[in-house]
C-alpha cells in the first residue's frame, strides 16, 4: 500500500516551522533536510525540504516560494484527551497566529488547525437530536472549545 505524506508549502520557513511543530507535539522529530543545489531555482545551500514526524505522522515541509499560501480549505485536526490538552495545544499553536471560531486557529505560519476534544462526533451525532443541537450551538459560539461548557449545553444546563 502506498504511503500518503502531506506536504506543506512554505516560502522560506519550512525548517523553522518543522522545528516549532516538533517542539509542540510529543514524540516528534525532524528526519531529513534537503537543500537546493546550483541548479536552483533558489540559492544553492538553502533548505528545499524538511521531512518530519509529529507523534508518528509523517509530513514534508517544502520551501517552494511565495507563490502559494495556506488557506482554511485544508486544516490539521488535533483530537485531544480532555481540556488540559486542548488548552496546551491551543496556547502553543495560536501564539503569534490567529484564533478562529469553533476550535479553529491559524498558527504563526498561516496553517489552519482544529483543536477538538475526543468524542466530539459522538455528542454531535447523539440520537437525541435536541441534545446534539444544544451542543452544536455551544460550539458555534466558542473560539477555543470548552469541554465542560459543551457537555453542560448538551445536557440543557447552559
What is the percent of the chain where pLDDT is above 70?
99
Q: What is the pTM of this model?
A: 0.93
In this structure, what CATH number is given to the domain that contains residue 62? 3.30.720.100
Do 26 and 100 have their domain in common? no
- What phi and psi values does residue 87 have, to the nearest 5 degrees? -60, -45
Note the Cα 44 to chain centre separation in Å: 31
Quick one: 63 and 105 in the same domain?
no
- 28 shares a domain with 81: no
Do residues 38 and 45 lie in contact, with contact meaning Cβ atoms separated by under 8 Å? no
pLDDT (mean) for 59-67: 97
* Domain CATH for 137: 3.10.180.10
Q: Pick from 14, 37, 68: which residue ends a domain?
A: 68
Average pLDDT, the chain: 96
Domain range for 26 = 1-68
Give dist(CA 129, CA 138) in Å, integer: 14
Domain boundary (48, 68, 88) is at 68
Cβ atoms of 62 and 84 within 8 Å: the answer is no
All cell numbers assigned to 22: 516538533
Does 107 lie in the same domain as 50?
Answer: no
Question: What is the per-residue pLDDT across 20-62, written as a single tens digit (0 to 9) for each?
Answer: 999 999 999 999 999 999 998 999 999 999 999 999 999 999 9
* Per-residue confidence (pLDDT) for residue 60, from 0 to 100: 98
Domain check: are 55 and 37 in the same one? yes
Query: Which pLDDT belongs to residue 158?
Result: 61
- 50 plus 86 within the same structural domain: no
**Counted domains in the chain:** 2
Question: Given 68, 89, 110, which residue is the final one in a domain?
Answer: 68
Amino acid at each position: 500500500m502506498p504511503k500518503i505524506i502531506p506536504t506543506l508549502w512554505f516560502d522560506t520557513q519550512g525548517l523553522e516551522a518543522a522545528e516549532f511543530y516538533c517542539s509542540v507535539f510529543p514524540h516528534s522529530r525532524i528526519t531529513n533536510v534537503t537543500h537546493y543545489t546550483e541548479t536552483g531555482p533558489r540559492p544553492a545551500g538553502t533548505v528545499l525540504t524538511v521531512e518530519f514526524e509529529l507523534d508518528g505522522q509523517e509530513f514534508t515541509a517544502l520551501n517552494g516560494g511565495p507563490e502559494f499560501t495556506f488557506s482554511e480549505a485544508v486544516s490539521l485536526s488535533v483530537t485531544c484527551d480532555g481540556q488540559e490538552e486542548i488548552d496546551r495545544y491551543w496556547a502553543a499553536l495560536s501564539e503569534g497566529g490567529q484564533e478562529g471560531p469553533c476550535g479553529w486557529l491559524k498558527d504563526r505560519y498561516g496553517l489552519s488547525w482544529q483543536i477538538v476534544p475526543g468524542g466530539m462526533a459522538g455528542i454531535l451525532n447523539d440520537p437525541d437530536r435536541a441534545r446534539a443541537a444544544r451542543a452544536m450551538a455551544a460550539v458555534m459560539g466558542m473560539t477555543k472549545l470548552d469541554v465542560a461548557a459543551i457537555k453542560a449545553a448538551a445536557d440543557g444546563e447552559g
